[in-house]
Amino acid sequence: MNLEEPLWVWIVTVLAFFTVYTAEFIYAKRHPHVVKFREAAQWVIVYLIAAVLFGIGLWNIKGRDAGIEFFAGWITEYSLSVDNLFVFVIILSSFAVPAIYQQEVLQVGIIGALVLRFLFIIVGAAAIARFSWVFFIFGAFLLYTAYKLASNHGVESNPSQNGVLKIAEKYLPVTPKYHDGEFRVKIDGKKYFTPLFIVMIAIFTTDILFALDSIPAIFGLTDDPYIVFTANAFALMGLRQMYFMLDGLLDRLIYLSYGLSVILGFIGIKLILHAAHENGFKDFPEISTPVSLAVIVTVLGLTIFASLRQTRLHPELAHKPGKEASGSAIEDIRRDHPGVE
């Protein structure tokens, strides 16, 4: 696999992101509190500025194409990350996670997502470097994902249906009570997992599904592993704060899944055309990255505008992620372990 960038650049970049993510986790762990809108907005703005400055730096150092690829990839991954927040809302609501512990849970989930995406990037880049026909598979997968997003009508799956989660709930001793943010506690000499541990299982298993969507999508915009990794890292950075900042707004983005399905479908077609071109079909057209960026920004803009306008005219259309799943998993725990506090 050709990493293109010198090893020292990779080391410095990974260490920089690792430091930021670790510092956020330590802060969330040591200072549990309910994050207010102003605090969340300030940090989201800081991370957005950092991503833009990084993209401008890439543009100046590596050239216009690299800069455009980064911004196209970052915007796409950021959009997918915002959509993933719906799932986080459902999980936290389903397990009735106290607000004071939510930022810790979210940060652990985000770190897990970054690690998984980094591993997927290594595998994906290695496969692409050796087998250009892999783009056919990525393209087909994105078209399927786009279809599923559109056909689900924006309704997220219930976390209680997660197979791994069901196994954990069935075979692990779990107390239904949250114990000061601990993952495991000892009660009357017997050790129990807390609901927070089960929440982490739900978060990590959904992280895998998120990575399966996001990595093929960004490889459709750039085959540079460094850009793929940094775009993902910046897209996840500040996602915890955005969760709290968009707490009310998320309910109004009723068409976000449809917009993302259009974007993923577009990138899927772009990948298939590229794969055909690389495998001997030179007459097949290719879609340039500037065109891709324009399509992504336009679709997202129209999606957000239409969502906000429609829910302003018809407030009853705003969906409430997690309401339908609320309490189901925690009730299962109480039923399976009666009398345990």
Local confidence band at 135 (pLDDT 50, 70, 90 cut-offs): confident
The β-bridge partners of 191 are 186
Name the pTM for this structure: 0.73
Q: Give CA–CA dist 75/152, Å, rounded.
A: 23
CB 232 within 8 A of CB 72: no
pLDDT for position 92: 79
Assign 58 a pLDDT band (cuts: 50, 70, 90).
very high
Average pLDDT taken over every residue of the chain: 79
CB 213 within 8 A of CB 80: yes
Q: pLDDT of 202-228, one tens digit each?
A: 787 777 777 777 788 888 888 888 999
Number of helices followed by number of strands (H, E) in the chain: 12, 2
The sign of the torsion formed by the CA atoms of 50, 54, 59, 61 equals positive
Residues 60-112 have pLDDT tens digits of 999 999 999 999 999 988 888 777 777 777 777 777 788 778 877 887 878 88
In the chain, % of residues over pLDDT 90:
15
| Every domain of the chain and the residues it spans | 7-336
Q: What's the pLDDT score for residue 328?
A: 44
- The pLDDT score that the predictor gives to residue 56 is 96
CA distances from 155 to 194, 257, 325 (A): 28, 9, 12
Are the C-beta atoms of residues 223 and 105 closer than 8 Å to each other? no
pLDDT-based confidence at 163, cuts 50/70/90?
low
CA–CA gap between residue 172 and residue 276 (Å, rounded): 49
Q: Is the pLDDT of residue 59 over 90?
A: yes
